[in-house]
Amino acid sequence: MPADAITPLLLTLKVALLATALATVFGVAIGKLLGRKRSLLRDTAESLLTLPLVLPPTVLGYYLLVLLGRRGTLGGWLQENFGISLIFTWQGAVIASAVAAFPLILRAARAAFAAVDPQVENAARTLGLGELKLFVRVTLPLAWRGVLAGALLALARAMGEFGATLMVAGSLPGRTQTLSLAIYDAVMAGDDARAQTLVLICLITSVVLLIAAAQLLRRGRPERGA
Amino acid sequence: MRRSGFLLAAVFALATSFAHADDLTVSAAASLANAFTELGHAFEAKHPGDKVVLNLAASDVLLKQIEQGAPSDVFASADEATMDRAAQANLIDPATRRDFAGNVLVLIVASGIKPPANLADLASGTYMHIALGNPDSVPAGRYAKQVLADAGLWDKLQAQLVPTQNVRQALDYVARGEAQAGFVYATDAAAQKGKVDVAFNVTTATPVRYPIAVVANTKHAQLARDFAALIVSPEAQTVLARYGFSAP
C-alpha cells in the first residue's frame, strides 16, 4: 500500500471512531432523557436535535465554523481560556463528524430504550434498584443491540463525512485530510490513479466494517426454538 | 381522467414554450466572481431573453468539468497554464482565445494582525495558519508555491500552510481570522477590504494573466463568441478595472 494512502486511512479511522464514541455518549444520554413518553415538547426537542441529519453538510459546516471559529461564541471562549483552537485540527474534524452522526444514534437509542419492557424495569425498581443503576444494569443490556445498530450507522456517516469537515478542519494532508477529502483533492488535481487507489481502500474498509458489524450483531443473539 | 391529462399536456406546452431563450454557461475562475456577475448582467441587457449562468470554481476544477463533458460554453481561467492544457486537449476553439485581464498576487493579513515585512517573516510564530489555494488545483496557489519555493521557504512553511479549494476560500479564512495570513489576488483583497489588509504585492515568476476562450463543444457558438467579444471590449475593461484588474 503506498505510504501516502495509509495516512488518510489511519486519520479517517481515528476521526470516525472518536466521533462515533462522542456521538454515542451524547446520543445514549439524551435518548434516555427524552424517555419513553411522547409529548409535543419531547418530540420537538428530538426533531431539533435531528437537524444535523437534515441540513446540507455545508450549512452544518458553516454554522460550526461560525460557532467554533476564533470570533465565535464557543471558539472565542475556548481560545481565551484554554488557548485552544479547533479550526484546522483533527479534533475539529471529530466534532464536525460527531455532530453530523449524532442524530442517527439519538433516534436509535431512544427507540431502543422505549422498546425495553417496562414491566422488567418496574420489577427492578420494586427490588430497590436506583435509577442510574437501573439504566446501566437493566435497560442498557436489554437495549444494546438497538444502540449498537445506531452506532454503526453513525460510524458509517462519520467515515463518509465531507462537507462539514472540509469547512471546519480543512483538507490538510497528514493532519485533517481524511479519505473522502483525499479522494476529492486527488480528483480535482487530475490524479485519477491516486483517486482510484483511495476509493478502493475506502471500499475495502467499509466492507470489512460492515461484515464485522453483522458478526457483532449476530453473536450473542439467543438461539430461537430448540 | 381525460381532463387531467389534457391539463397536464397544457402545462407542459406552456412550460416548454419558455425554453426558447438561450442559457449561456460561463465557467470562470473564482476570482472573477464579482466582475463577471456585473458583466453577465451587461451581456443580458444587450441580448434580451438570453441568460448568463455563471459557473465559478478553481480553474483546474473547471477544466476537469469541461474535460468530462460538462455543458459549458465559455471558459475563463486565472492562468495561461490551465488554458494551455485545455488547448492541448482540444477542449477550446483556439481561434477565440484572448487575454482579457491581468492581476497581482498579494499577501494579506487578517485585520489587526501585524503584517510581515517580507516573505521570510512568515516563518515567525505570529502566522500560525497561512491560507493559499491548493497548488494542485488552484492557479493562485501555484503562483504562491512558485514564489515560496524560489525564496527557499516552501518546505519551511509546510506546517503552517492551509491549502484551500479555491482562492476565495483562502480569502474567507483570512477575513474570518482563522488564518492570520494568506495569498490571494489584489482583486480578492479589495472584495473584503474591511476585514483584510494587504501586506505587500508578491512578484510572481510569470505575470498573472487571464485568458478567455469559447469551449469547443458549445451548443451556443455564436452567443459564446459574442460573450467573449464583450469581455475583451473597452467597455468590459472599464468594469474590470473598477474591480482592480489590470489590462492584459
Listing DSSP states for chain A in one string gives --HHHHHHHHHHHHHHHHHHHHHHHHHHHHHHHH-S---HHHHHHHHHHTHHHHS-HHHHHHHHHHHHSTTSHHHHHHHHHH----TTSHHHHHHHHHHHHHHHHHHHHHHHHHHS-HHHHHHHHHTT--HHHHIIIIIHHHHHHHHHHHHHHHHHHHHH--HHHHHHH---TTTT--HHHHHHHHHHTT-HHHHHHHHHHHHHHHHHHHHHHHHHHHTTPPPP--
Burial of A135 (0-12, 13-18, 19+ CB in 10 A): middle
- Cell 418496574, located at residue: A122
Complete domains list, chain A, with CATH: 10-173 (1.10.3720.10)
CB of B177 less than 8 A from some CB of A: yes
CB of A174 less than 8 A from some CB of B: no
Mean pLDDT, residues A4-19: 93
Mean pLDDT, residues A94-107: 95
pLDDT band at A225 (very low <50, low <70, confident <90, very high): very low
CA distance, residue A78 to nearest chain B CA (Å): 14
What pLDDT is recorded for position B125? 86
pLDDT band at B20 (very low <50, low <70, confident <90, very high): low
Would you say residue A89 has pLDDT above 90?
yes
| CA A216 – CA A113 distance, rounded (Å) | 20
Cell numbers standing for residue B59: 480553474
The answer to whether residues B92 and B231 touch, using CB atoms and an 8 Å cutoff, is: no
The answer to whether residues B94 and B86 touch, using CB atoms and an 8 Å cutoff, is: no
pLDDT single digits (tens) B42-83: 999 999 999 999 999 999 999 999 998 999 999 999 999 999
Three-state DSSP state, B109: strand
Average pLDDT over chain A reads: 89
Q: Which of B137, B154, B158, B174 to mutate to test the interface with A (most CBs of A within 10 A)?
A: B137
Beta strand extents in B19-138 (DSSP E only): 23-29, 51-57, 74-76, 98-103, 105-110, 130-133
What pLDDT is recorded for position B160? 95
CB of B96 less than 8 A from some CB of A: no
What pLDDT is recorded for position A1? 45
Cell numbers standing for residue B34: 464579482
Q: Which of B63, B138, B178, B180 to mutate to test the interface with A (most CBs of A within 10 A)?
A: B178
pLDDT single digits (tens) A126-136: 998 888 888 89
Please compute, for residue B70, the number of CA atoms within 13 A of its CA located in the half-sphere on the CB side.
15
What residues of chain A lie within 8 A of the CB of B162, using their CB? 88, 170, 172
What pLDDT is recorded for position B13? 63
| CA A15 – CA A25 distance, rounded (Å) | 16
Percent of chain A with pLDDT over 90: 62
Q: Tally A–B CB contacts below 8 A.
A: 45
The answer to whether residues B225 and B96 touch, using CB atoms and an 8 Å cutoff, is: yes
What pLDDT is recorded for position A217? 76
CB of B163 less than 8 A from some CB of A: yes
Would you say residue B15 has pLDDT above 80?
no
pLDDT band at B16 (very low <50, low <70, confident <90, very high): low
Looking at per-residue pLDDT, the higher value among B114 and B9 belongs to: B114
Of the candidates A87, A185, A190, the beta carbon closest to that of B178 is on: A87
pLDDT single digits (tens) B205-220: 899 999 999 999 999 9
Three-state DSSP state, B28: strand
What pLDDT is recorded for position A209? 83
What pLDDT is recorded for position A68? 94
pLDDT band at B18 (very low <50, low <70, confident <90, very high): low
Looking at per-residue pLDDT, the higher value among B151 and A222 belongs to: B151
CB of B84 less than 8 A from some CB of A: no
CB of A43 less than 8 A from some CB of B: no
What pLDDT is recorded for position A182? 94
pLDDT single digits (tens) A67-82: 999 888 999 999 899 9
Looking at per-residue pLDDT, the higher value among A166 and A212 belongs to: A166
What pLDDT is recorded for position A226? 44
Would you say residue B198 has pLDDT above 80?
yes
pLDDT single digits (tens) B226-238: 999 999 999 999 9
pLDDT band at A220 (very low <50, low <70, confident <90, very high): low
pLDDT band at B14 (very low <50, low <70, confident <90, very high): low
* Contact assignment for A170 to B164 by CB distance below 8 Å: yes
Comparing A212-221, B190-199, B222-231, which segment has the lowest mean pLDDT? A212-221
Residue B98 β-bridge partners: B212
- Cell 515585512, located at residue: B117
Q: Where do the H-state alpha helices sit in chain B? A: 2-17, 33-46, 59-67, 80-88, 139-150, 167-176, 186-191, 221-232, 234-242
Would you say residue A61 has pLDDT above 90?
yes
Would you say residue B26 has pLDDT above 90?
yes
pLDDT band at A4 (very low <50, low <70, confident <90, very high): confident
| CA A3 – CA B143 distance, rounded (Å) | 28
Complete domains list, chain B, with CATH: 2-102+209-242 (3.40.190.10), 103-202 (3.40.190.10)
Residue type, B247: A
Average pLDDT over chain B reads: 92
pLDDT single digits (tens) A140-185: 999 998 999 899 989 999 999 999 999 999 999 989 999 999 999 9
pLDDT band at B167 (very low <50, low <70, confident <90, very high): very high
